[in-house]
């Protein structure tokens, strides 16, 4: 059945608005008194007949459901996907036809932490999109990293057990820096590539709005003649790809562990709708074996130099959920939710995923999870499945079987109506049943090397620092050494530098135990590897060519105290807001800020409530505030830390004394108004770079 109603319209039927309503029980019985239980006398014991109290408490006692076993911590938003290019020669998927607009619900997440853990953990980010298409729901359940730790789904529970808090004492929370994770990955060289990404800045996004998304696996597009084309999905953020420093991430976790959640919510509330372009890498079926790596191996990416990303559409997130639990928490994603025109491949990780998600939704949400409003397809569902816990739909008639004649054969096959039903790609398979892995999956280091060599110098330094930090937290020196042996296979300079920080000479050969486990998969391991097509790939850095040159939605702290000159504040505010940035005034206390001319302004942020790590850039305006700030250690911490984290700093005329008292050195990231007509332009230009990472080594100050 075709139904043009949007997801928003559909959800309206389930919205509860309590405005001007009388308080009732769950059965709609008006409640006279919600303050007192029913007792024998005013001071007496409570009565078991208090159905009003029990109605309330029984529900409360059941408010928690199992959190997701991975990706428990997440934030979601509604939006729309618009297809802009014609790719009908590759797919008959209706939502991928030029001009079609499809409602979506997107959820971003961390992987390892529990539901209440920090947003700023060093971790992979989930990037799941549910498309409510006219042919039913299609879920693209990806990550912000284009490869995965393991190749076969059978290893997934082990991987997750190793990274989650250790089972005896349940710590550390939301962190990979511990024995068990590094024990596992150092025994699984196939993880080398993904671990490299996880140690890079990609694992510390500045915002969900500033990260790429990837479908990771190679999927198939199917056209209306049944012809398949391999495809990799990419989401490219319009705001560019940006990260925070590790020191900053740790501090943000303390100051505001909801940093990413709040950022997404507020951006949408402010009308700054985040956008991503959808890009496709298309590979003809005939080219399946053309590359030096196997396109079914989920630990490999296809460098964009080999297969360019074709931008085909845009997703805009424009509406926050009305209710976190009902929508975000109950959203059930599944890579096996496919629509006609898209199919899975034989990637052994993907094959296992297709089972796991449906299973976990049944456990978490119950067997009728697809009837929960956020998961309902907009075109309706019609089949003979019935009953089960918490069934919502009421199936009409006496027929719930197929085939039938009693209900005129309904619901009938799509083909009887001349419609395209989902058909799996008619792929020929002719092989023995084996519990084995292809030898074409056995090169683990070439692409890890490609990633490392494709990073700028600072990016490489951050990777070295991250390995050094994480491995220093590992208590067993044998594990540290084993991982260093892996690093040595990737790049000897990388291994040497990390080794120096750990006081270990990197071993030349892989550890005996690593080899032993790898040989249980491939008896001939290590194999002679093929020459890679490229040694460096520009797209693996964080500079997206189309996303440069904006400070839109960036938060700039205007650091003041009473006595500040109003004009000095207003001028920069107007300039920043014109560029789409947010200027936030921070003073010594919340409440009325008193300007030099005696006028007042109510402000919401102070050095007590906020911290420099929550902002992208800093401006100190002129006035009598300078004398107060000279003695304000919190202010000095703001600018010292901003300097350390390579952010842009600007100082109005008359504030130079503050810089002298700080640890700031005058470099290309610090702008002074004095004698400089172009200071605002310079300030904005520095912000557009996001951070002056290039001079990070000169900005190493204690803050």
| Residue 420: closest CA among 129, 84, 131, 136 | 136
Q: How far is CA 325 from CA 62, 74, 372, 650, in A?
A: 13, 11, 11, 42
Selected from 7, 11, 70, 447, the binder of ligand HDD by CB under 6 A is 70
Confirm or reject binding of residue 302 to ligand HDD (CB under 6 A): no
Asked if 324 touches ligand HDD (CB under 6 A), the answer is: no
Which residue is at the shortest CB distance from ligand HDD?
126
Is 153 a residue that touches ligand HDD (CB under 6 A)?
A: yes
357 marked as part of a ligand binding site: yes
Stretch that binds ligand HDD, among 350-358, 367-375, 428-436, 631-639 (CB under 6 A): 350-358
β-bridge mates for residue 313, sequence order: 83, 278
36, 51, 78, 143: which one is catalytic? Answer: 143
* Binding of ligand HDD by 292 (CB under 6 A): no
Q: Which is nearer to ligand HDD, 128 or 314 (CB)?
A: 128
Is 371 exposed, middle or buried, given 0-12, 13-18 or 19+ CB atoms closer than 10 A?
A: middle
* Helices and strands (H, E) in the chain, number of each type: 18, 18
Report the Cα 672 to chain-centroid distance in Å: 37
- How far is 519 from 524, CA to CA, in rounded Å? 7
Beta pairing partners, 237: 276
The answer to whether 148 contacts ligand HDD (rule: CB under 6 A) is: yes
Q: Which of 4, 34, 36, 71 is catalytic?
A: 71
Smallest CA-to-CA distance from 343 within 85, 155, 125, 90 is with 90
Distance in Å, CB of 365 to ligand HDD, minimum: 9
Structure tokens at 58: 């029984």
Among 113, 142, 165, 189, binds ligand HDD (CB under 6 A): 142
- Compute the residue count for the chain: 703
Closest CA to 560 of 485, 447, 495, 639: 639
Q: Which one of the spans 12-20, 95-103, 345-353, 603-611 is the region binding ligand HDD (CB under 6 A)?
A: 345-353
Rounded least distance, CB 127 to ligand HDD, Å: 6
In whole angstroms, the minimum distance from the beta carbon of 357 to ligand HDD comes to 4
Please, which residue, 353 or 554, has the CB nearer to ligand HDD? 353
According to CB under 6 A, which one of 118, 360, 368, 662 is a site residue for ligand HDD? 360
The reply to whether 143 belongs to the active site is yes
| Contact yes or no for 421/136 (Cβ under 8 A) | no
Regarding 216 and contact with ligand HDD (CB under 6 A), the answer is yes
Shortest reach from residue 439's CB to ligand HDD, in Å: 21
Closest by CA position to 537, among listed 311, 288, 293:
293
| Residues 15-54 as x/- pattern, contact with ligand HDD by CB under 6 A | ----------------------------------------
Per rule CB under 6 A, is residue 374 in the interface with ligand HDD?
Answer: no
- Applying CB under 6 A, among 7, 11, 73, 74 the residue interacting with ligand HDD is 74
Q: Is 191 in the site for ligand HDD (CB under 6 A)?
A: no
Say whether the peptide bond before residue 172 is cis (omega within 30 degrees of 0).
Answer: yes
Question: According to the binding rule CB under 6 A, does residue 69 interact with ligand HDD?
Answer: yes
Q: Which positions from 97 to 116 touch ligand HDD by CB under 6 A, shown as an x/- string?
A: ----------x-x-------
Query: How far does CA 318 lie from the centroid of its chain?
Result: 17
- CA distances to 71, 73, 110, 162 from 115, rounded to whole Å, are 8, 4, 9, 18
Q: What's the Rg (C-alpha) of the chain? A: 28
DSSP 702: -
Phi, psi (degrees; rounded to nearest 5) at 402: -140, 130
Name the residue with tokens 């510390």: 204
Estimate the crossing angle of helix 477-490 against helix 512-521, to 10 degrees.
60
Which CB, 108 or 643, lies closer to ligand HDD?
Answer: 108
Residue 383 annotated in active site:
no
List contacts with ligand HDD (CB under 6 A): 68-71, 74, 107, 109, 126, 128, 141-143, 148, 153, 156, 216-217, 298, 331, 333, 349, 352-353, 356-357, 360-361
Feature table: binding site for heme = 68, 107, 156, 353, 357, 364
Binding-site sequence positions? 68, 107, 156, 353, 357, 364
Give the residue numbers marked as catalytic: 71, 143
């Amino acid at each position: 059945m075709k139904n043009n109603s949007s997801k928003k319209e559909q959800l309206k039927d389930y919205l509860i608005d309590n405005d001007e309503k009388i308080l009732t029980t769950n059965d709609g019985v008006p409640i006279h008194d919600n303050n007192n239980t029913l007792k024998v006398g005013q001071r007496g014991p409570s009565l078991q007949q208090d159905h009003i109290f029990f109605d309330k408490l029984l529900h409360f006692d059941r408010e928690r459901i199992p959190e997701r076993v991975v990706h428990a911590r997440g934030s979601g938003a509604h939006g729309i996907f618009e297809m802009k290019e014609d790719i009908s020669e590759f797919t008959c998927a209706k939502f991928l036809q030029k001009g079609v607009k499809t409602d979506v619900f997107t959820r971003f997440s961390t992987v390892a932490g529990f539901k209440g853990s920090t947003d700023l953990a060093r971790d992979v980010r989930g990037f799941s999109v549910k498309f409510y298409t006219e042919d039913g729901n299609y879920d693209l359940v990806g990550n912000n990293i284009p490869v995965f730790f393991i190749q076969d789904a059978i290893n997934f529970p082990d991987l997750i057990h190793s990274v989650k808090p250790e089972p005896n004492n349940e710590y550390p929370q939301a962190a990979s820096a511990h024995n068990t994770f590094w024990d596992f990955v150092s025994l699984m060289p196939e993880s080398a590539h993904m671990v490299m990404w996880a140690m890079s800045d990609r694992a510390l996004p500045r915002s969900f709005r500033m990260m790429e998304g990837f479908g990771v696996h190679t999927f198939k597009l199917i056209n209306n003649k049944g012809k398949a084309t391999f495809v990799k999905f990419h989401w490219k953020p319009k705001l560019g790809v940006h990260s925070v420093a590790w020191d900053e991430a740790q501090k943000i976790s303390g100051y505001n562990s909801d940093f990413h959640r709040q950022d997404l919510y507020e951006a949408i509330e402010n009308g700054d709708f985040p956008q991503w372009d959808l890009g496709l890498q298309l590979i003809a079926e005939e080219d399946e074996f053309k590359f030096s790596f196997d396109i079914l191996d989920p630990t490999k990416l296809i460098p964009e130099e080999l297969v360019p990303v074709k931008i085909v559409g845009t997703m805009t997130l424009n509406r926050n959920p009305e209710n976190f639990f009902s929508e975000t928490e109950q959203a059930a994603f599944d890579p096996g939710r496919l629509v006609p025109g898209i199919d899975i491949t034989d990637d052994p990780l993907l094959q296992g995923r297709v089972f796991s998600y449906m299973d976990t939704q049944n456990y978490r949400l119950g067997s009728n999870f697809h009837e929960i409003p956020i998961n309902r397809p907009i075109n309706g569902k019609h089949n003979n499945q019935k009953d089960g816990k918490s069934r919502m739909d009421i199936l009409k008639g006496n027929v719930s079987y197929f085939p039938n004649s009693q209900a005129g054969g309904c619901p009938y096959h799509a083909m009887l109506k001349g419609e395209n039903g989902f058909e799996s790609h008619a792929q020929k398979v002719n092989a023995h049943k084996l519990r084995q892995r292809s030898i074409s999956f056995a090169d683990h280091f070439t692409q890890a090397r490609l990633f490392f060599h494709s990073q700028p110098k600072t990016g490489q330094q951050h990777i070295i620092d991250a390995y050094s930090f994480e491995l220093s937290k590992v208590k067993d020196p044998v594990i540290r050494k084993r991982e260093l042996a892996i690093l040595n296979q990737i790049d000897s300079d990388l291994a040497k530098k990390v080794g120096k920080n750990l006081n270990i000479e990197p071993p030349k050969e892989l550890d005996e135990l690593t080899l032993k486990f790898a040989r249980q998969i491939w008896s001939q391991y290590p194999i002679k590897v093929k020459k890679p097509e490229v040694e460096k790939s520009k797209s693996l850095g964080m500079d997206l060519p189309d996303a440069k040159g904006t400070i839109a939605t960036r938060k700039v702290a205007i650091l003041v105290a009473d006595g500040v000159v109003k004009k000095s504040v207003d001028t920069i505010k107007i300039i920043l807001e014109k560029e789409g940035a947010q200027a936030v005034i921070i003073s010594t206390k919340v409440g009325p800020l008193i300007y030099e001319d005696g006028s007042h302004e109510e402000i919401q942020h102070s050095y007590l409530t906020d911290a420099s790590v929550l902002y992208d850039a800093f401006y100190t305006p002129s006035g009598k505030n300078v004398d107060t700030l000279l003695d304000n250690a919190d202010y000095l911490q703001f600018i010292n830390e901003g300097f350390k984290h390579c952010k842009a700093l600007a100082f109005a005329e008359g504030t130079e004394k503050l810089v002298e008292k700080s640890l700031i050195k005058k470099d290309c990231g610090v702008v002074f108004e004095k004698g400089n007509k172009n200071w605002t332009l310079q300030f904005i230009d520095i912000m557009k770079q996001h951070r002056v990472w290039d001079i990070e080594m000169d900005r190493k100050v204690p803050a």
